[in-house]
């Protein structure tokens, strides 16, 4: 079978197509015939070696972790799913190697794909969706809360906006150009184009600020928070985590850095919303598996509306 791998940390030029055996399964595992795989920024952060403390020195490594597909084979001790089920899921983000024709997963990594949702859309929503739910839960968002999403037109921001509005929050969004225009369909209460304006120049104060873009550090964001407001970032790094720890000892304005851990409850929540067309995730462009370099360059360039997804026949 085909699988995209890399043998050293580097750039998209280090990605290559390998021909490998279809993996075997243990009694508690499923073999999935992969139908679609979505690209996430974490894919190239790992490839570039930005997370090598966690990802280690063992090669070859595979790439990508959000997928959808059909169960080809189910181990004897598996539960909840059977051969032929259409599923979507996410592998361990630090080890993921979903960009392949077949992968092996356990029950906790998958969820049934709603019939009305394409394989591409199902693969596209998972990391953005689970991370958005983590953010909203962490900030305990409720009706009437005022929320700022910095990076609102990306995979995480789009779902955070839709679900925050669903909960009755008032949402201000920061993004730019076509993406900012696109997310108007989910009725943000305020929009700021970061290429024309600075959110830090605005007088509005927020109950919660979600930092998804790396451009609004807590040192600046705290001036935009209400007295008991909370700042939640999806961009962990050791220095910020230490600063956050000390800030949270002394300040009523909280600085939280999250690492989302997908679970079945969150998968089912997302699946339920998608089956009822309550939450959506646009697919910007699809590529074949052998177009991996082109696809990653396209995704990293930015400016696309929605996720970049591989379709695997």
Site string for ligand NAP, 217-256 (x = CB under 6 A): -----------------xxx--------------------
| Residue 111 in contact with ligand NAP, rule: CB under 6 A | no
Q: DSSP of 51-106, one letter per residue?
A: THHHH-S---EE---EEEEEEEEE-TT--S--TT-EEEEE--TTT----BSEEEEE
Q: Should residue 150 be labelled a site residue for ligand NAP when binding is judged by CB under 6 A?
A: yes
Binders of ligand NAP among 283-302, rule CB under 6 A?
A: 302
Spatial distance between the Cα atoms of 88 and 271, rounded to a whole number of angstroms:
9
Applying CB under 6 A, the span of 76-84, 137-145, 175-183, 246-254 interacting with ligand NAP comes to: 175-183
Q: Are 306 and 283 in contact (CB under 8 A)?
A: yes
Q: How far is the CB of 55 from ligand NAP (least distance, A)?
A: 14
Nearest residue (beta carbon) to ligand NAP: 154
CB 126 within 8 A of CB 98: no
156 near ligand NAP (CB under 6 A): yes
Beta partners for residue 188, in sequence order: none
Q: Is 114 in the site for ligand NAP (CB under 6 A)?
A: no
Nearest CB to ligand NAP, comparing residues 25 and 141: 141
Q: What value, to the nearest 5°, has the Cα angle with vertex 62 and ends 56 and 66?
A: 110
Q: Is 188 in the site for ligand NAP (CB under 6 A)?
A: no
40 belongs to the binding site for ligand NAP (CB under 6 A): yes
- Least distance (Å) between residue 254 CB and ligand NAP: 17
Buried b (16+ CB within 10 A) or exposed e, 159-186: bbbbbbbeeebbbbbbbbeebbeebeeb
Among 42, 123, 148, 164, binds ligand NAP (CB under 6 A): 42
Residues 6+ apart with CB under 8 A from 282: 124, 158, 182, 305, 306, 307
DSSP conformational letter for 164: H
Residues counted in the chain: 313
Closest separation between CB of residue 181 and ligand NAP, Å?
A: 10
78 binds ligand NAP (CB under 6 A): no
The answer to whether the CB of 48 falls within 8 A of the CB of 11 is yes
Which of 107, 109, 131, 162 binds ligand NAP (CB under 6 A)? It is: 131
Q: φ, ψ for residue 238 (rounded to 5)?
A: -55, -40
Order the strands of the 61-62 sheet from edge to edge. Answer: 15-19, 2-6, 61-62
Sign of the four-CA dihedral 67, 117, 69, 19: negative
Is residue 55 close enough to count as binding ligand NAP by CB under 6 A? no
| 259 counts as binding ligand NAP under rule CB under 6 A | yes
* Among the residue ranges 18-26, 66-74, 117-125, 171-179, the one whose residues contact ligand NAP (CB under 6 A): 171-179
Q: Which stretch binds ligand NAP (CB under 6 A): 135-143, 208-216, 273-281, 282-290?
A: 208-216
Q: Which is nearer to ligand NAP, 103 or 260 (CB)?
A: 260
CB of 306 to ligand NAP, least distance (A): 9
Report the distance separating Cα 190 and Cα 124, nearest Å: 26
**Interacting residue with ligand NAP among 73, 191, 215, 286 (CB under 6 A):** 215
| Residues 271, 113, 178: CA angle, nearest 5 degrees | 65
Closest separation between CB of residue 251 and ligand NAP, Å? 22
* Residues forming the site for ligand NAP (CB under 6 A): 40-42, 127-128, 131, 150-157, 174-177, 179, 194, 212-213, 215, 234-236, 258-260, 302-303
């Amino acid at each position: 079978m085909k699988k995209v791998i890399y043998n050293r940390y580097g750039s998209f030029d280090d990605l290559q197509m390998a021909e490998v055996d279809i993996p075997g399964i243990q009694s508690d595992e499923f073999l999935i015939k992969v139908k679609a795989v979505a690209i996430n920024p974490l894919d190239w952060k790992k490839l570039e070696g930005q997370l090598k403390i966690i990802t280690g020195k063992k090669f070859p490594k595979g790439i990508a972790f959000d997928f959808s597909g059909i169960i080809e084979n189910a181990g004897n001790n598996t539960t909840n799913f059977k051969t032929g089920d259409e599923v979507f899921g996410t592998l361990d983000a630090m080890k993921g190697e979903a960009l392949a024709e077949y992968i092996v997963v356990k029950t906790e990594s998958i969820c049934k794909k709603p019939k009305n949702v394409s394989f591409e859309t199902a693969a596209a929503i998972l990391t953005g969706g689970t991370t958005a739910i983590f953010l909203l839960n962490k900030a305990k968002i409720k009706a009437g809360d005022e929320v700022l999403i910095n990076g609102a037109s990306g995979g995480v921001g789009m779902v955070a906006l839709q679900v925050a509005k669903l909960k009755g929050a008032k949402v201000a969004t920061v993004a730019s150009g076509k993406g900012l225009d696109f997310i108007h369909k989910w009725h943000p209460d305020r929009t700021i184009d970061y290429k024309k304006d600075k959110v830090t120049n605005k007088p509005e104060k927020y109950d919660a600020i979600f930092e998804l873009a790396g451009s609004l550090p807590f040192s600046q964001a705290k001036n935009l928070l209400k007295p008991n407001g909370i700042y939640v970032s999806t961009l962990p790094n050791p220095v910020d985590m230490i600063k956050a720890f000390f800030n949270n000892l002394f300040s009523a304005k909280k600085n939280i850095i999250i690492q989302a851990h997908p679970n079945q409850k969150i998968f089912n929540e997302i699946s339920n919303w998608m089956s009822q067309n309550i939450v959506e995730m646009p697919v910007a462009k699809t590529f074949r598996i052998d177009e991996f370099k082109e696809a990653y360059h396209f995704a990293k360039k930015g400016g696309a509306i929605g996720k970049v997804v591989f379709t695997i026949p």
